[in-house]
Amino acid sequence: MATASIGGKDAKRTSAATGAADAGRTRGAPQAPGARGAGTGRLDVHRRRRHAPAIIAAVGILVLWHLIVVVFEVPTYIAPTPIQVLQVFVEQGDLLWINFWPTLLEAVSGFVLGNSIAVVLAVWFVHNRLAERAFYPIAVFINTIPIIAVAPILVLMLGNGYAPKIVIAALICFFPTLVNMVRGLKAVSPQMLELMRVLSASDREILWKIRLQSSLPFLFAALKIASTTCVIGAIVGEWIGSNYGLGSLIIEATYNFRAPLLYATVILGASLAVAFFVTTTLIERRVLKWKPGAVF
């Protein structure tokens, strides 16, 4: 009996020690933020490694550009060095920014206008096959006309202000979004449509709950294209009779052989297009959280 009593006491002590150890581990749980911090640090390292190739490639291109200009003694009016282009940003930054804001306004307005019309027409085409057969070929025909040929016509019709540049930017964004959106709205499985009809869902309910959801990947693929082409459209519109904007500044720098200013303006316009693309990609990540990440 004494032995059994002693064994019971030992079992109780062991149980108490185990409980204390578990409690200690539980009390030690607040150390998790450190672990989360380590995880965040590893994520930051992963991101830096992912973007490192692009950064190294860009630096390599700049170094190669500088060496070619210096070694072959290329005249400045043909190709300046990256340092000379950087001096333009420092010394003539006001001129660049004054012409940057009109181009930004035209590109954003054209992006919103062109994509909005494309989405509305895509919804109409999906619900009205007669409208699709009638107007889709016209949209294809308009897209085949070179934008540089449409620009003078729009300037004659709308004047020399912001309107023709916005319309040109909208036109260049319109067709890719229309094609992708129509494809996305039709990408619903027949079984899903049959289920919605069995549940007596209306066309509006099918559109909002099924079709639009399936079309989002297609839509964002088109918006990524439009985010860069809208800047091209705005600049092309400014080439045709404009006294402001990056397009006008490019023409002025070209005719006056101001190559450093020309290169700086082109780089600024390209940076604007990249900023649009990255912004669209970030919005896509927020909206389509289930979709695998892209390069940016």
Mean pLDDT of 174-192: 89
Residue 25 forms part of a structural domain: no
- Residue 14 in tokens: 């062991």
Residue 71 forms part of a structural domain: no
Length of the chain as a residue count: 296
Residue 66 forms part of a structural domain: no
- pLDDT above 60 for 168: yes
pLDDT per position as a tens digit, 23-49: 444 444 444 555 455 556 665 666 677
Angle ∠(109,231,217) on CA atoms, nearest 5: 80
pLDDT value for 1: 40
- Residue 142 in tokens: 């308009």
> Could you give the 3-state DSSP secondary structure of residue 81?
coil
Listed range (19-33, 105-119, 203-217, 221-235) with the worst mean pLDDT:
19-33
Cα 125 to Cα 133: distance, rounded to the nearest angstrom = 8
Neighbour tally for 252: CB within 10 Å: 15
pLDDT confidence band for 251 (50 / 70 / 90): very high
pLDDT per position as a tens digit, 36-95: 555 566 656 666 777 788 889 989 999 999 999 999 999 998 999 999 999 999 999 999
Strands (E) across 96-229 are located at none
Residue 36 forms part of a structural domain: no
**pTM (2 d.p.):** 0.79
Angle ∠(122,126,131) on CA atoms, nearest 5: 80
With a pLDDT cut of 70, the percent of the chain lying above it is: 81
Cα 194 to Cα 217: distance, rounded to the nearest angstrom = 23
- pLDDT above 50 for 19: no
154: domain CATH number is 1.10.3720.10
pLDDT value for 56: 92
With a pLDDT cut of 90, the percent of the chain lying above it is: 54
Residue 19 forms part of a structural domain: no
Nearest to 171 by CA among 134, 196, 146, 189: 146
Q: Can you give the residue range of the structural domain that contains 208?
A: 101-287
Tell me what the pLDDT averaged over the chain comes to.
Answer: 83
- Determine contact, residues 132/188, Cβ cutoff 8 Å: no
Residue 262 forms part of a structural domain: yes
pLDDT value for 135: 92
> Could you give the 3-state DSSP secondary structure of residue 284?
helix
Residue 240 forms part of a structural domain: yes
- Determine contact, residues 273/224, Cβ cutoff 8 Å: no
Angle ∠(216,222,228) on CA atoms, nearest 5: 135
User: Cβ contacts of residue 252 below 8 Å, gap of 6+?
Assistant: 258
pLDDT value for 200: 76
- Determine contact, residues 249/129, Cβ cutoff 8 Å: no
pLDDT confidence band for 7 (50 / 70 / 90): very low
pLDDT value for 119: 95
- pLDDT above 90 for 245: yes
Residue 182 forms part of a structural domain: yes
Q: What total of structural domains would you count in the chain?
A: 1
